[in-house]
Structure 1
Amino acid sequence: MKTGRMGYLLGVFMLAGMLAGCVGGQKLSEQFDEEEVKAAAEEVIEILNDGDVDTLVEEKWNSTMRGMADKDMMEKDVLPIVEELGAFEGFDKEAVTGNKDKDTEQEFAVAIIIGKYEKRKAQFTISFDEDMKVGGFYIK
């Protein structure tokens, strides 16, 4: 049951990322600062680790993400997955790339961050729009 739920969630978040135009990678646009993107992605992960879904949904998500992953979904389906990882120990590897929505020409920054947890590692792929709001979120 948990594996099915996790697969469903990953699909939803991946869909949100695709809707935001964050499929594939390319050079980071000049409108983004790589260190700022890394810091913003780390902040999103830390907020999630703290279980503060209100802040994620209301302050960090863009309108596309709010439509795909609301507070109830985050509390019901995502927080249990994060809790299963065990205690957060720190960040491991980090990379930042760029992407552009083919239809709208909107630029995105995509951060890929490995988080170390007590039980295992998790890879977060978080895309940001030009307002530094999350437009895509994927965890595996």
Structure 2
Amino acid sequence: MYAYDHSRVILRRIADEPNSDYINACHVDGYMEEKKYIASQGPVNPMVGDFWRMVWEQDVCIIVMVTKLVEEGKMKCLKYWGESKPIIHGPFAVTLSEENDYSCYTIRTMTVHEKDKPHIFSQRDPVSLHFLAR
């Protein structure tokens, strides 16, 4: 599935990288608000850095994931949320701040900041709701 031009999320272009504004993600209208949500595939290499650019640029605060990392022996999504130590995805450092497992879902809070800037000045704390069919 590919994003249509009329609804696709457009990333800020990186200098000297002509296709760096593309990510396979679409804006989705809400009940009373245009472009309220974003639908995206689970990030895989090499798009995981672009995924975090999208989260940062679009100021995403909630991520809903409805796939397992591996389904029927096929990788569907990378573990993009990191651990207690920061992992680097493109220009961002991502740290798992909190993780709570429940019977059919996991709630994760992450801290994201630009790796070249002190996170005390600019960080985001998105929450991920990861639904798992058991």
TM-score after normalising by structure 2: 0.30
Q: TM-score, normalised by structure 1?
A: 0.29
Larger strand fraction of residues: 2
Point out the structure with the larger helix share.
1
> Computing the radius of gyration over CA atoms, which structure comes out larger, 1 or 2?
2
